[in-house]
A = this chain, B = another copy of it.
């Protein structure tokens, strides 16, 4: 059963010394599960943590769900012990599992969303880039930049001015007839939907400076839980609009992304 609490000396709390995964479950089946496990394994390798016993995960996944669509959250910490930053000689990692019902924001899939360019710039740390670790203050600070519910996401650029991601989603654009997403080797999170779209050769990696962001043909934000949201408006944090995009009606990224997430149609879901 999921733990409802952790000891105050848990290293996940003390130092953010751990990893997490947020997984969409449809009718009891975790979507993109092999991608989530692969990212968790890569995180464990980088942090020097043992990979949790997948039998324990399988048992949790076999438990009947309360809703047709759920979000499964895994948190893996290094557990207690050690001496300050020094890790324990024999770590006993702690795995927390929780599930909640999920209702997708359908209107956004159809109409697209308004996003904002964030002031905060992501710092470079290649040792932590890509993995879904528990050190997420940059994301929390960036998400504090706006409270307007009409703004769905914030785009993040790094200290070199390169586009990286959104606060809780990856970012994609179309230019020269191709679909692109930024590399996440210096900062950012390698989303599982992003990884699956790269593997399927729907998108490829490219760098994009924020100065030319408004010149792309189309822009999307996406993750494995929320799906693919087209962007219709990009706001400037200093006020005003940096760019707008009209929906084309022909959305390869959304169709392919939602196919990977098991949606019955590009703009439809069981929740409709």
* Cβ contact within 8 Å between B85 and A167: yes
Which residue of the partner chain, among B17, B143, B167, B168, contacts A136 with CB atoms under 8 Å?
B17
List A118-169 residues whose CB lies under 8 Å from chain B. Answer: 120, 122-125, 127-128, 133-144, 159, 167-168
Contacts of A260 in B (CB 8 A): none
Task: Determine the residue in chain B with the shortest Cβ distance to A125.
Answer: B123
Which residue of the partner chain, among B87, B120, B125, contacts A143 with CB atoms under 8 Å?
B87
Determine whether A177 belongs to the interface, using a CB cutoff of 8 Å to chain B: no
Task: Determine the residue in chain B with the shortest Cβ distance to A141.
Answer: B127
* Cβ contact within 8 Å between B15 and A4: no
Contacts of A14 in B (CB 8 A): 20, 75, 134, 136
Determine whether A67 belongs to the interface, using a CB cutoff of 8 Å to chain B: no
Nearest chain B CB to A43 CB, angstrom units: 11
| Band of interface residues on A | 35 or more
Known: A16-B136, A137-B15. Contact between A75 and B143, CB under 8 A?
Answer: no
Counted per complex, copies of this chain come to: 2
Contacts of A125 in B (CB 8 A): 122-123, 138
* Cβ contact within 8 Å between B47 and A15: no
Determine whether A6 belongs to the interface, using a CB cutoff of 8 Å to chain B: yes
Known: A2-B8, A96-B8. Contact between A16 and B85, CB under 8 A?
Answer: no
Determine whether A104 belongs to the interface, using a CB cutoff of 8 Å to chain B: no
Nearest chain B CB to A230 CB, angstrom units: 21
Determine whether A272 belongs to the interface, using a CB cutoff of 8 Å to chain B: no
Contacts of A53 in B (CB 8 A): none
Determine whether A13 belongs to the interface, using a CB cutoff of 8 Å to chain B: yes
* Cβ contact within 8 Å between A13 and B15: no
Interface residues of A (CB under 8 A from B): 2-17, 20, 47-48, 75, 77, 84-87, 96, 98, 120, 122-125, 127-128, 133-144, 159, 167-168, 187
Q: Which 5 A-B pairs have the closest CB atoms?
A: A16-B16, A135-B135, A123-B125, A15-B136, A123-B123
